[in-house]
Chains A and B, each alone.
Chain A
Amino acid sequence: SQQGEEDPQALSIQEGENATMNCSYKTSINNLQWYRQNSGRGLVHLILIRSNEREKHSGRLRVTLDTSKKSSSLLITASRAADTASYFCATDQSGAQKLVFGQGTRLTINP
């Protein structure tokens, strides 16, 4: 079964607006990662947040992690048409040697 569950499954906003996606998981983790997938392409790593971190920034991306609620959020500020893609969270579970991916949020930025 999938560890990460993203919410919403699909999101459509206007260019320039902020986009927020959420991820929930079930077990203890070492870290949580976010990936982007453009249509027909492989996934690209965006950002990693460790279990002892609460917030991390990278350019227009802001990730938060709440281990007590087993949830994370990805915020993309000042969205651009090029941000149109699917976004996946992936959890690195404690003691495991692999990531478990959620089903993704499909983000559409309208010009």
Chain B
Amino acid sequence: NAGVTQTPKFRVLKTGQSMTLLCAQDMNHEYMYWYRQDPGMGLRLIHYSVGEGTTAKGEVPDGYNVSRLKKQNFLLGLESAAPSQTSVYFCASSYFGSTQYFGPGTRLTVL
């Protein structure tokens, strides 16, 4: 099993550009999550999903959109990137909200 994978690993964007981060899991987990991690801020939940076709807002959802068209994939979109979105993004999945399994992260820089 690959577990949780994230694509891409690194990305540099210019202000105003858009991009999509892809998270995939092969553990048949129902729940999936997107977090951002900034220095000294810990993990903050952006959006999450409790099943295929469902999404919900987390703590810091502004400027991001998500989709869960397939159970194994959870996409995070930035429509118009801003420097404040420079961060490390982590995806995680879990079996009905218990222990979470994390991906390796995507390091995003917005210039």
Q: Are B42 and A42 in contact (CB under 8 A)?
A: no
Contact between B42 and A92, CB atoms less than 8 A apart: no
Name the A residues within 8 Å of B50 (CB-CB).
97
Bound: A74/B97 CA distance, A? 22
* Shortest Cβ distance from B41 into A: residue: A103
Nearest CB of B to A52, in Å: 15
Contacts of B43 on A, CB cut-off 8 Å? 43, 88, 101
Please tell me the size bucket of the interface on A.
20 to 34
Q: Which residue on A lies nearest to B43, using beta carbons?
A: A101
Closest to B33 in A: A98
Q: Return the CB mask of A67-111 against B: 1 if under 8 Å, else 0.
A: 000000000000000000000101010001111111110000000
In the complex the two chains form, is B102's CB within 8 Å of A97's CB?
no
Residue of chain B at shortest CB distance from A40: B105
CB distance from B87 to the nearest CB of A (A): 14
Task: Tell me which of B41, B45, B102, B103 contacts A98 (CB under 8 A).
Answer: B45
Q: Check if B105 sits within 8 Å of A41, measured CB to CB.
A: yes
The answer to whether A44 touches B42, judged by C-beta atoms less than 8 angstroms apart, is no
Q: For the complex, give the distance between the alpha carbons of A96 and B50 in Å.
A: 11
Q: Quick check: B97 and A98 within 8 Å, CB to CB?
A: yes
Contact code string A1-38 (vs B, CB < 8 Å = 1, else 0): 01000000000000000000000000000010101000
Residue of B nearest to A33 (CB): B99
Residues from chain B with Cβ under 8 Å of A97 in the complex: 31, 48, 50, 56, 97
Cα–Cα distance between A103 and B35 once the two chains are bound (Å)? 13
Known: A2-B42, A103-B41. A42 touches B104 (CB 8 A): yes
Q: Quick one: which of A31, A42, A104 contacts B90, CB cutoff 8 A?
A: A42
Give the residue among A40, A48, A101, A103 with the most B Cβ atoms within 10 A.
A101
Asked whether any CB of chain B lies closer than 8 Å to the CB of A45, the reply is: yes
> Complex formed: what's the CA distance from A43 to B99 in Å?
11
The 4 closest A-B CB pairs, nearest first, are: A42-B102, A103-B42, A101-B43, A43-B102
A→B interface (CB under 8 Å): 2, 31, 33, 35, 40-45, 48, 88, 90, 92, 96-104
